Structure 1
Amino acid sequence: MTPDAALPLPPPAADEARALLRRFEPVIRYTRGERFFPMNVEPYVRECSLWVQRPDEEPECLVPEGALTLEKLAEPRSDGFGAVYFLKFIEPLNIRELTEYILRERWGPRADAFHAGRGRLARVGYTSRFVDALFSLTLLARGRVPGDTAAAAAQLYRRLLRQHEHFCYYGRVYRTRSWTALQYWFFYPFNNWRSGFFGVNDHEADWEMITVYLYEAAPGRLAPEWVAYSSHDFWGDDLRRRWDDPEVEKVGEHPVIYAGAGSHASYFQRGEYLAELEMPFLSPVVRLANLARGYWRRFLGQVRGEAADQALIPLNVFRIPFVDYARGDGLSLGPGQDREWTDVCLLDPTPGWAQNYRGLWGVYVRDPIAGENAPAGPVYNRDGLMRRAWYDPIGWAGLDKVPAPHEALEWARERQREVAERQAARQREIAAKAHTLVDLQLEATAMDGRPHLRRLYDARVAEIEALSRALAGLRAETAADEALLEALAQHIAGQERGERGPLRAHIKHAHVPASDTGLALGRIAETWSAISIGLLMIGFVLVVLFARHYLMFGLTALIATLLFVEAGFRRQLPQLVSSVALALALVCALVLTFEFFWEMVVLGVLAASGYVMWENLKELGN
């Protein structure tokens, strides 16, 4: 294959690009209760003001609301290190407007009202619930989007739709000699995951993207091979699925996206996804907990068979759980759906507002973990650096190491030829070195025992040892290449028969809908999971106030009670009793060891000496 196969080619003409994008434009299915849908950025920007936040200063308005245009947004700006440019979409509602919105949305009749499913806290244990409580408290201290902002955004977006209902996406065609990548960028005016669907965050503006990868199935005819959806905390190979994967639902040639409610993350299947927010500062504790968990489950016999291997998979019990609802029971957008795409806006050539504006597309609230800060545009990350999805759409989904189907057979044959040539060259090198090794050994044998040749003899021995090691390495490489050539031959034969290889071998962490298996069902269990940490905190206060002299006993009894109640809801009482019994046995063993340490040492030495003497006497008897 030519070395320039991965280099980008010029984009196609606008009409050709538009036709390609239209051919594979996706269908997006939303969850009931979704309030924001993909729109053109121009009316959004018209409603925004442009601000700059300089270090240790109050935000400054650069362009007021009503005066901002895409052209002004594209003007180059430089304000020194640490300055953050951001848009501000809406102002919070006043009390009367907020009250009207709440009454209408929460108490008024609505056919598309959202109803949460199983409580997210019912899916995890006490540690995660406690960390979640701490996370909720941090919202009071760190920057966040005000609660009424989502209501104001919904009202403003509804007004924009009344003025001109439109649903559009931004498309880009990126080509190499191997792949043609169709990028579909979706701009949402607001992300109300936290306030609308009990998720992680709220922020103004939201950019989401999927990519369809085509190859040249025949001269002049492109066919789809892969599709990749951007999603929470997933990257590389895990983002993509092959076009014939049953997980990829399609309407004709249009891939179906199940959008997360409020978050707008893209999923291949409908369902409820457990998204987990990790706490980096707890990483050492997490590693220690995983080690202890693996030892407990595997070596102490708490789990056997395949379940024991599963128990060794790292598990961050300090994660904060959130549910991303991608049910697909709301509005369906796309070809032949409830609403159809009204327009495709091309990003080739890159428009000035995307190329020149590196700031945030919504309000900047100075959230230290960035969850409540607005995102940047399609070209840049929040830090102003270019997104990999933009400058390397092929590598972003891990396809930079995968040959396109129309090139795969020739690529494999070429690699087979290269390995065979390398093998032949190595065989010649082995033959020459083996001949030299025999010569050196003959010289060493002839010099052995002759004092006046001692120095030369030692040099020859050193050469022999070095050459022997080199030959051993070459022969090991030869054996490895023989196995590689055999594998390549089998791979090529399979490709010649039309085999396409494993469907999902590239996926390391598949994002699948959460399962309720193993959880006790019922509203009581969910209510318990919601109040358990609060009850623990109240119980701690009561013990401190009224039974301080029995603090350890009281806390132990309190935690034990909560654990037994939880195990009952999860139908895991037998496992809990077994674990407690084993833990008590270990504690007893440690206590006995501490109390009778030297006696145990003496008994151990006596037993060992008796065993040694017995074995030796048996040997004499034979």
Structure 2
Amino acid sequence: MSISQDAILLRSYEPIIRFTKGEQFFPMDVTPYVRACSLWSQLPDQPPRLLVQEGKLTLEALANLDYDTPGLRYFLKFIEPLNVGEMAVSKFQGEEDAPFASGPGRLARVGYISRLVDAIYRLALLARGRVPGDTAAAAALSYRQVLAEHTHYRYFGRVVRQQGWIVLQYWYFYALNNWRSRFSGANDHESDWEMVCIYLAEQPDLEHGAHSADCFRPEWIAYASHDYSGDDLRRRWDDPEIQKEGDHPLIFAGAGSHASYFSQGEYLTELTLPFTAPLLRASAAVQRFWGRVLRQYTGEESRHRFDQYASIFRIPFVDYARGDGLSIGPGQEHEWDEPVLLTPVPGWVSNYRGLWGLYTSDPFSGEDAPAGPMFNRDETVRRAWYDPVGWAGLDKVAPYVETLRQVRAEQDRLRLRQQELRTLIAEQTAALNGLGIRFEATRNQPHLVALHDELSKQISQQSTELNEVSAELSTNHGLLDALYRYEEALTAGDRGPLRAHISHAHTPAPPSERGSGRLAEFWAASSVGLMMVVMVLLAYFLPQYLGGGLVITIALFAFIEAGFRGRFTRLVTSVTISLTVVAALVLIGKFYWELIVLLVLIAGAYILVDNLREFFR
């Protein structure tokens, strides 16, 4: 298929992106961005070095960098933070941006421990590398200047043929991720690459007896995500969750983060810190033991319960994908400009392995700019680039037409194997009968004891082999029946459950989970800091009552928290049960030997009565 046909396919299914009101950055061409950047390099434990000044950098220069020095890292720098005067101008010009209403606070949606972990994260942000606070404002100002020169909305398209699939990759480039500074998210970083894959299957063009561009049909779609992988990334094309206008799927982009979602709404995203990772692994181990070993509550409800317990070790952030802002795509207020094809792969994609923005040396990497579409931050090639089929878990799924062919081929293979097994069973049965005759003939023959014992071993071995072959014949019979039914279903157009492949689906928070009033949000925002203040005051002014004061304070905070979260009754019940258990343990400790004697007497009396009842029966 030619490059022009690739472009036709890309444009035939190009997605529509709907943004949240208040979004400042949209998909753009990389050329004006690179022109506005400076190029830097940095070696470990050394200061960065300017290589190319702002305004002089080109894509060709990025494609011809030297990577012979071990540990050398290249990165771009899009913008310098604003001074006071420039900040005033930015504030004035910022009126052009649509206002953003955050809605219910994120901290009101989670428990107290999650807020405590969040406080630790916020304090750590002060010490670790991060994008300067004024960079987002400067980037927004610079981006508006780029649009003023030439308003455009562009994506980068790539078509990959792999394992019978035609993969349409749509890469979107943004000048800045300002999720933290504008939308109270987890991070900011210069530049942002997002990606969507649509998987087409080739259908034979029966009318012309050939294959043409018109005979491709979409079967799957996958949105890139930092929190999900494999099967969880993709949805079937006929899944109602996929909203479409014609053949164009809708993407609901997260505000500032630009993450792609299938449905509009507000998504609670949780970040794991390195020091909480062992706790999460321990929680996962408990879940595996509970489900696999004890076989208890392995359904979706149980997994959700365990996820809730594990979430207390994560930091909550809200990703707003409301879809109430700018809309870009076919038939929208803004259409896509002519896409840039990444076929053949340009040098700035294949040769530039550096970062597309500021390198902050953030140990969590959340504030570092990403690498390009081909590479990860560590300069390894993205799996989504070299294996887009396996990246979305489709390496075990064949296209519809290919699946039918493979099902029929598997039926033929099994039928042939069944014939072989029947022949083998007949031969082994005859041989086993012969051994049985010899075994019976040598019974009670003293001079043939050794032969008799050897025949016994051979009979046991061949009986085991015959049983295995017979079991395979029976299993294959059931498998053949299943394959016949599967073929009938496929022929009738039934492709099975829509969502059976999904283990974890990211769904927007329902209205009931979006906070419970301004007072509850105020409490959620102030509770951690208030607890810290109370602890300091107790330690400083009443050190002799520190232990009791902490117990009373924690109990008071727990009851207030339960009241705001609608769990007061549950808390009272839990406290009552806990006190009952403690009282029982105290009694056991106080009257330990008396209880042991009593239990032994009761057990002895029971055994005596039971045995006498059996004796006189």
Q: Tell me the residue number matched to 1:479.
A: 474
Matching residue of 2:78? 89
- Paired with 1:610 and 1:288, the residues of 2 have a C-alpha distance of 45
CA, structure 1 residues 443+282, in 2 after alignment: closer, same or farther (shift >3 Å)?
Answer: farther
Aligned residue number for residue 43 of structure 2: 54
User: Which amino acid counterpart does residue 175 of structure 1 have in structure 2?
Assistant: R
Q: What is the identity, as a one-letter code, of the residue corresponding to 2:222?
A: A
- 1:576 maps to 2:565: no
Seen in structure 2, the aligned counterparts of structure 1 residues 290 and 394 have a Cα distance that, compared at 3 Å, is closer
TM-score under structure 2 normalisation? 0.92
Structure 1 pair 132–454 and aligned structure 2 pair: CA distance change class (3 A): farther
2:366 to 353, 368, 371: 371
Q: Does 1:226 align with 2:215?
A: no
Give 2:157's match in structure 1, choosing from 151, 157, 171: 171
Instruction: Give 1:237's aligned amino acid.
Output: D
Q: Secondary structure at the match of 1:343?
A: coil
Task: Give the Cα separation in 2 of the matches to 1:509 and 1:95.
Answer: 46
Which moved further from structure 2: 601-610 or 478-487? 478-487
Aligned to 2:208: none
Q: Give 1:343 shift.
A: 1.8
Q: Report the residue type matching 2:130 in the other structure.
A: R
> Is this contact kept in 2: 1:520–1:569, CA < 8 A?
no
SS in 2 for 1:215: strand
Tell me which residue corresponds to 2:187: 201
Counting only pairs closer than 5 Å after superposition, residues 546-565 of structure 1 correspond to structure 2 as: 546-565=541-560
Partner of 1:539: 534
2:240 aligns to what?
246
1:275 maps to which of 250, 269, 275: 269
2:31 is aligned to 42
* 1:170-205 per-position Cα deviation (integer Å, ceiling 9, x unaligned): 001112462211111001111101111111110011
Q: Which amino acid aligns with 1:135?
A: Y
* 2:377 paired residue among 379, 382, 385: 382
Between the aligned partners of 2:598 and 2:303, the Cα distance in structure 1 is: 37
2:409 to 385, 392, 414: 414
Once the two structures are superposed, residues 221-274 of structure 1 have per-residue CA deviations (whole angstroms, 9 ceiling, x without a partner) of 212221111123112111111222111111121111100001101111110011
Question: Residue 180 of structure 1: SS of its match in structure 2?
Answer: strand
2:7 equivalent to 1:18: yes
Deviation at 1:89, TM superposition (A): 1.0
Change (3 A) 1:563 1:260: same
Residue of structure 1 aligned with 2:22, choices 33, 37, 42: 33
Q: CA deviation at 1:102?
A: 3.8
Which residues of 2 match residues 102-181 of structure 1 at below 5 A? 102=91, 105=94, 108=95, 112-176=98-162, 178-181=164-167
Mapped pair 1:591 → 2:577: no
Call closer, same or farther: CA 1:613–1:95 in 2, change over 3 Å.
same
Gaps of 5+ in 2: 206-211, 291-296
Q: Deviations over 1:31-57 (max 9, x none)?
A: 111111111111111111111111121
Specify the code of the residue in structure 2 equivalent to 1:272.
E
Give yes or no for contact 1:191–1:205 (8 Å, CA) kept in 2: yes
Pairing 1:357–2:346 present:
no
Q: Give the partner amino acid of 1:526.
A: E
Quick check: 2:81–2:135 contact (8 Å CA) kept in 1?
A: yes
Matched, 1:256 2:250: yes
Distance 1:274 1:523 in 2: 19
- AA aligned opposite 1:247: E
The letter of the residue matching 1:492 is E
Comparing 433-442 with 231-240, greater Cα deviation is found at 433-442
**CA, structure 1 residues 111+374, in 2 after alignment: closer, same or farther (shift >3 Å)?**
closer
Other-structure match for 1:617:
612
| Whole-angstrom distance in 1 between the partners of 2:123 and 2:239 | 42
Shift of 1:488: 1.1
Per-residue Cα deviation, 1:97-143 (whole angstroms, up to 9, x for no partner)? 124324653xx5x6710110211111111111111111111111111
Residue number in structure 1 paired with 2:209: none
Give the match's secondary structure for 1:551.
helix
Q: In structure 1, how many angstroms separate the alpha carbons of the residues matched to 2:300 and 2:369?
A: 44
With over 3 angstroms needed to count, the CA separation of the structure-2 counterparts of 1:293 and 1:479, relative to structure 1, is closer
Change (3 A) 1:284 1:69: closer
CA contact (8 A) 1:50 1:68 kept: yes
Residue in 2 that maps onto 1:300: none
SS at match of 2:191: strand
Shift of 1:482: 2.1
Counterpart-to-counterpart distance in 1, 2:355 and 2:453: 72
Contact 2:183 2:255 in 1 (8 A): yes
The DSSP-based 3-state class of the residue aligned with 1:272 is: strand
- Change in 2 beyond 3 A, CA 1:575/1:314: closer
CA contact (8 A) 1:129 1:533 kept: yes
Query: Is 1:214 aligned to 2:200, yes or no?
Result: yes
CA distance in 1 between counterparts of 2:114 and 2:529 reads 13
Opposite residue 254 of structure 2, the aligned amino acid is: G
Q: Name the amino acid aligned to 1:48.
A: C
Change (3 A) 1:420 1:353: same
Cα distance, 1:451 vs structure 2 = 5.0
Structure 1 position 471, deviation (Å): 3.0
Deviation at 1:65, TM superposition (A): 1.8
Q: Which letter does structure 2 place at the counterpart of 1:158?
A: R
Q: Displacement of 1:549 after TM fit?
A: 2.5
Following superposition, the deviation at residue 361 of structure 1 comes to 0.6
- When the two structures are superposed, what TM-score results if normalisation uses the length of structure 1? 0.91
Question: Cα gap change, 1:290/1:478 in structure 2, threshold over 3 Å: closer, same or farther?
Answer: same
Contact 1:274–1:324 (Cα < 8 Å) also in 2: yes
CA distance in 2, matches of 1:475, 1:364: 64
RMSD: 2.4
Q: Specify which of 515, 521, 538 is matched with residue 526 of structure 1.
A: 521
Among 61, 78, 82, the residue aligned to 2:67: 78
Shift of 1:518: 5.8
Residues 225, 260 of structure 2: 8 Å contact kept: yes
Change (3 A) 1:306 1:340: closer
State whether residues 276 and 314 of structure 2, in contact with CA within 8 Å, keep that contact through their aligned partners in structure 1.
no
How far off is 1:538 after superposition? 1.3
Amino acid at match of 1:170: F
CA positional deviation for 1:603: 1.5
Counterpart amino acid of 1:385?
T
CA contact (8 A) 1:26 1:257 kept: yes
| CA deviation map 1:384-405 (0-9, x unaligned) | 1111111112222122221212
Structure-2 separation of matches of 1:72 and 1:292:
52
Contact 1:282 1:318 in 2 (8 A): yes
Letter in 2 for 1:261: A
Q: CA deviation at 1:309?
A: 7.5
**Cα distance, 1:616 vs structure 2:** 0.5
CA distance in 2, matches of 1:386, 1:127: 37
What SS does the aligned partner of 2:222 have? strand
Preserved contact between residue 270 and residue 327 of structure 1 (Cα < 8 Å):
yes
Pair 1:236 & 2:230 matched: yes
Instruction: Tell me the CA shift for residue 64 of structure 1.
Output: 2.0
Cα distance in 1 for partners of 2:444, 2:307 equals 61
How far the C-alpha of 1:421 sits from its partner, in A, is 2.1
CA distance change for structure 1 residues 136 and 457 in 2, over 3 Å: closer, same or farther?
A: farther
Q: Aligned partners of 1:292 and 1:45: how far apart in 2?
A: 49
Following superposition of structure 1 onto structure 2, how do residues 300-449 of structure 1 map, counting pairs within 5 Å?
311-312=305-306, 315-316=309-310, 317-449=312-444
